């Protein structure tokens, strides 16, 4: 109890409403997603690893189309309009999938569309969520609050994954979509309350220099692309994300191969993956609640950004030594938990020192197109590598890339510290690039 009390002692009274609503927002968002992720991964195993590159390619092309559309949307409409509208749009999508699945309308085609849709959906809504958080909180608040906010998503993931493991074979996969849609719709209340909190804080801060929260983000349709092209800092984030998703896909492809061979039933695979997701998020919750804040304060963001890649380096070396499903599962579970609990919230703090335009548009480009571009490139590369190299050789190559990933994370963390100090010294705070 004393440790829990110390953890929350640094939170100001006026921050509590936003902290709890942000926690709930992420809870509903990820609980709904984690009810569907095991189904998507089971469908991926059913399709076979050789078809993943095509599905990731389709996902990447859709992401390319979304970036200018999102840029136009945020330039034309204020956040209080387009943010809830995006949630309603995805709720309607889920209801459409539910109807198609329930009444067996072209299930083979719907399954492939669903795989691509869910992959696009989660990247988009999570990216927008963290952009919203970067718009609500400054860098100092991020170090204190992001661990707890991320824990909201982890608790949601725990609930969603456990419900999937329990209900998948009892009620069928289609009904999980309906439950997921209800959870996603619940985020609307959280969004409205957070917008109201920021308006209250802005009105109470006399002489505040930043843009009015309800103002349009600004910039053109391709502003995010131009921001990345002009900024080494943003390019570094692109490289970090690209390496992360590339190495994740290496594990994902191997998992798809081994799961289909050892678990031929779709519902059995869905239940197994639901249980694994539960374990991942249970570990992540403990780390987020008790480790992120003290580690971030003591060692800094740079150590957290480099630590998970270093762990991946040793994990891939272990996989090269013993390329079995058990090793892959243990490595994948621990790596995912550390990524969600430590590296992910640390990575999100990199955006707090950016302009509003960069927080939404450049970040959306990185979290969608760059992320899924890495998926596609690595899936295509894995198809080629699997024909000429065994798992140990691929794992050794992944270990080498993990070293580059760690170095990139360390550099980004040091750059972020410099930018945050410079921003804090400016009166009023300027925009950094």
Give me the pLDDT at residue 314, please. Answer: 95
CA 109 to chain centre: 26
d(Cα 116, Cα 357) in Å, to the nearest integer? 28
Q: Is the pTM of this model over 0.75?
A: no
Residue with structure tokens 């190559």? 397
Contacts within 8 Å (CB) and 24+ apart, 423-427: 423/139, 423/353
Buried b / exposed e over 209-229, threshold 16 CB at 10 Å, is eeeebeebbebebebbbebbe
Give me the pLDDT at residue 210, please. Answer: 46
Nearest partner of 317 among 264, 259, 392, judged by Cα: 392
d(Cα 67, Cα 120) in Å, to the nearest integer? 12
What would the pLDDT profile of 405-432 be if each residue is shown by its tens digit? 999 999 999 998 888 777 666 644 444 4
Buried b / exposed e over 10-48, threshold 16 CB at 10 Å, is eeeeebeebbebbbbbbbbbbbbbbbbbbbbbbbbbbbe
- Which tokens sit at 63? 């992401």
Nearest partner of 251 among 111, 402, 55, judged by Cα: 402
Nearest partner of 357 among 287, 433, 304, 290, judged by Cα: 433
Nearest partner of 40 among 115, 123, 116, 124, judged by Cα: 115
Give me the pLDDT at residue 76, please. Answer: 80
d(Cα 344, Cα 348) in Å, to the nearest integer? 6
CA 192 to chain centre: 22
Architecture of the domain delimited by 13-200+218-423:
Up-down Bundle (1.20)
Contacts (Cβ under 8 Å, ≥6 apart) of 313:
399, 402, 403, 406
Give me the pLDDT at residue 81, please. Answer: 87
d(Cα 222, Cα 245) in Å, to the nearest integer? 23
What would the pLDDT profile of 153-171 be if each residue is shown by its tens digit? 888 888 887 787 777 667 6
The full set of domain ranges for the chain reads: 13-200+218-423
Ranges under pLDDT 70 in the chain: 1-10, 41-53, 56, 104-108, 168-169, 171-173, 202-223, 257, 260, 263-270, 274, 387, 423-433
Give me the pLDDT at residue 2, please. Answer: 44
């Amino acid at each position: 109890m004393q440790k829990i009390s110390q953890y929350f002692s640094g939170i100001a009274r006026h921050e509590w409403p936003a902290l709890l609503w942000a926690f709930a927002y992420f809870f509903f968002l990820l609980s709904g997603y984690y009810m569907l992720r095991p189904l998507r991964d089971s469908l991926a195993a059913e399709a076979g690893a050789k078809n993943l590159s095509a599905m990731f390619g389709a996902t990447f092309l859709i992401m390319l189309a979304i970036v200018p559309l999102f840029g136009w949307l945020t330039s034309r409409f204020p956040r209080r309009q387009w943010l809830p509208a995006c949630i309603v749009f995805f709720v309607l999508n889920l209801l459409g999938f539910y109807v198609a699945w329930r009444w067996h309308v072209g299930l083979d085609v719907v399954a492939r569309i669903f795989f691509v849709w869910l992959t696009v959906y989660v990247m988009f809504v999570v990216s927008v969520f963290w952009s919203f958080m970067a718009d609500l909180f400054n860098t100092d608040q991020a170090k204190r609050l992001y661990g707890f906010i991320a824990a909201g998503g982890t608790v949601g993931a725990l609930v969603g994954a456990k419900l999937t493991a329990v209900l998948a074979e009892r009620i069928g996969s289609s009904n999980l979509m309906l439950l997921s849609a209800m959870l996603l719709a619940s985020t609307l209340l959280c969004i409205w309350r957070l917008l109201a909190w920021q308006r209250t804080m802005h009105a109470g801060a006399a002489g505040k220099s930043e843009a009015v929260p309800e103002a349009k983000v600004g910039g053109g349709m391709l502003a995010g692309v131009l921001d990345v092209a002009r900024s080494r800092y943003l390019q570094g984030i692109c490289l970090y994300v690209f390496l992360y998703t590339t190495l994740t896909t290496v594990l994902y492809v191997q998992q798809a191969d081994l799961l289909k061979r050892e678990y031929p039933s779709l519902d059995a695979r869905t239940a197994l993956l639901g249980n694994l997701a539960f374990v991942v998020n249970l570990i992540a919750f403990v780390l987020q609640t008790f480790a992120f804040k003290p580690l971030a304060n003591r060692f800094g963001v740079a150590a957290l950004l480099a630590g998970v890649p270093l762990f991946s380096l040793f994990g891939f070396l272990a996989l090269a030594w013993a390329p079995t499903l058990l090793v892959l599962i243990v490595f994948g579970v621990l790596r995912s938990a550390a990524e969600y609990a430590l590296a992910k919230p640390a990575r999100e703090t990199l955006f707090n020192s950016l302009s509003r335009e960069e927080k939404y548009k450049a970040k959306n480009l990185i979290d969608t197109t760059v992320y899924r571009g890495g998926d596609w490139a690595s899936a295509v590369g894995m198809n080629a590598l699997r024909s000429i190299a065994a798992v140990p050789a691929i794992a050794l190559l992944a270990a080498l890339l993990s070293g580059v990933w760690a170095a990139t994370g360390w550099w980004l963390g040091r750059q972020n510290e410099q930018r945050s100090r410079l921003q804090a010294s400016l009166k009023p705070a300027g925009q950094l690039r």
